[in-house]
Amino acid sequence: MPTRRSILAAAGAALVLPSFARAQENQLTVDEVLYDPDAPILANPDGDVTVIEFFDYQCPFCWEAHPMLKSVAEADQGVRLVLKDWPVFGAPSVRAAQLGLGSVELDEYRAVNETLMNLEGRLSIERVEEAVTQHVPAERAMASYRDDRSRWDGLMQRNQMQAAAFGFRGTPSFVVGTTLFGGAIDRETLEAAIAATRRG
């Protein structure tokens, strides 16, 4: 399991991809990526700079990034923070994504997301369901997911397609405006990317 020090060291080695060129080659538009109507938004839906994280609830680098992302969004009210589930670590990750998305219509997404992002270590389906039940019965969240399954399955398929189009190799990966970061980034890098996006 990576240590905090190794996680922070990796942040400085993020793969910076040049532009949306890969997305355009795959016939994706900027609006499709930045403004997917189904993707949960954690901060300011009307913000002037969109920051997207492709994440997995079992990813230790995502755990490390989560409080930093929230802090940046709290400090900069113009940040529109969007989360894109990309469950790459197996069945528990898929179940966590399903229950998280199922909690959207129950008005429990923020609480469920926060709890799941704080479950460090290897997850099991049972552990995920127990954590979600702190806020909403897991069976209710799963029923909500299944009630709108085409919407949520479609969202995760789009997330995966976009990640592949961008050449992302794993989680976390980020989009800031139209700048791509394939890997963990630190606060300084994120804030510089936000400022550069505003400058155009």
Split the chain (200 residues) into runs of 10 and give each run's mean pLDDT: 35 44 68 96 97 97 96 98 97 98 98 96 96 98 98 97 93 95 95 95
Cβ–Cβ under 8 Å, residues 50 and 39: no
The per-residue pLDDT for 121 is 87
Residue 189 CA to residue 184 CA, distance in Å, equals 10
Q: What is the per-residue burial (b if ≥16 Cβ within 10 Å, else e) of 81-100?
A: bbbbbbbbbeebbbbbbbbb
197 alpha-carbon distance from chain centroid: 19
Cβ–Cβ under 8 Å, residues 158 and 44: no
The CATH code of the domain at 4-199 is: 3.40.30.10
The per-residue pLDDT for 99 is 98
The per-residue pLDDT for 15 is 42
Q: Whole-prediction pTM value?
A: 0.88
The per-residue pLDDT for 155 is 98
Q: What are the residue boundaries of the structural domains of the chain, listed by start?
A: 4-199
